[in-house]
Amino acid sequence: MRRLKLAAVWLFAAACLALALRGVDGRAFLQGLAGIHWGWVAAGIAFDVLSYVSQGWRWRMLLEPGGRLSTLKATQAIYAGLFTNEVLPLRLGEVVRAYLASRWTGLGLSAIAPTLALERLMDGLWLVAGVAAATVFVPLPGYLQTGAWLLAAMLAAGVIALIVLLVRKPAHPPRTRLGMLLREMSGQVREASRTGALWRSAAASGMLLGGQILAFWCIQRACSLPPGLLVAAVVLLVVRLGTVIPNAPANVGSYQFFVVVGLSLFGVDRSAAAVFSVVVFVLLTVPLWALGFLAIRASGTTFAQLRRAAVGGDPQCEAVGTT
């Protein structure tokens, strides 16, 4: 079954990549590389790094009620997870960063998993809000609007669950793993709300998305594409919405496809959009690989060990993998 899932993931990625790069010749790609302004590339990489530092700050605040983890260490774990996502499918990097945080804080994975769920909820709320704002300026394709509505419905359920966790205290000790997870999450949410960390974390989520939009905008400027910040924001939101479902490592294929879709909304030539989809992917992904590799090297473990943990070879990680 696992091999079948992986085959489906790679088949989907290949189909998306073929659609994105259809009709692009090698000469156009090389011409696109020759005209890059590297100063803008450096600025884009800097904004991208800062966006993940803001994510590290957010995660530190969410973890604080149970255990202390510096922003630097939290960012290191995030980069280790991002590196894992770049080389393994289905976003197993979430398990890796939870595993590292557990090692460094002494917290059980059942205490860390709720913070990851809160992060996804916050990111989703910002994404849906951004997509809703984007539709005021640019009409999105029907399938993206449908995807946004489905995501909004799931987030609404998540918000309702969050409110329940804030106001309701369980009367009896839970007997199931899910019940224990919800109880742990309930305590963490109430504590984070009491200290204000929950609301600061929500603001940090906006900083994360804003930093990634600025990074994308800088790469647009570097490649002499339409330089408007609105263009960058809409295209990145389209990419984020299109890659919500875990797929191939680094979202290869789907990333390029949705960059082309986003730029087509602004009348960008399809060939130029296809070339840019590869260039922006490489320019923002290679630094992530390098920093992620260094983060793993500095973590006191190896990628082989983290990989075993991510796929369930570590009993401790099997718990978070099933939450």
Let me know if residue 26 belongs to a domain: no
Q: What's the number of domains the chain is made of?
A: 1
65 within domain boundaries: yes
Look-up of token digits 């922006």: 280
Structure tokens at 148: 């946004």
Instruction: State the chain's maximal CA–CA distance in angstroms.
Output: 68
In a domain, 311, yes or no: yes
- Residue at 289 is within a domain: yes
Q: Which residues contact 210 (CB under 8 A, 6 or more apart)?
A: 51
pTM of the full structure = 0.87
106: alpha, beta or left, given left = phi > 0 and alpha = psi -120 to 50?
left
Residue 246, domain extent: 35-321
Q: Is residue 28 part of a domain?
A: no
The answer to whether residue 98 sits within a structural domain is: yes
Residue 309 falls within a domain, yes or no?
Answer: yes
Q: What is the pLDDT along the chain (323 residues), one digit of tens a residue?
A: 767 877 888 888 889 988 888 877 667 666 666 778 999 999 999 999 999 999 999 999 988 866 789 999 999 999 999 999 888 877 788 999 999 999 999 888 878 888 898 899 899 999 999 999 999 989 888 888 899 999 999 989 888 877 776 666 655 666 666 666 667 777 777 777 777 788 899 899 999 999 999 999 999 999 888 778 999 999 999 999 999 887 788 889 999 999 999 999 999 988 889 889 999 999 999 999 999 999 999 998 888 888 887 776 554 444 444 33
Domain assignment present for residue 11? The answer is: no
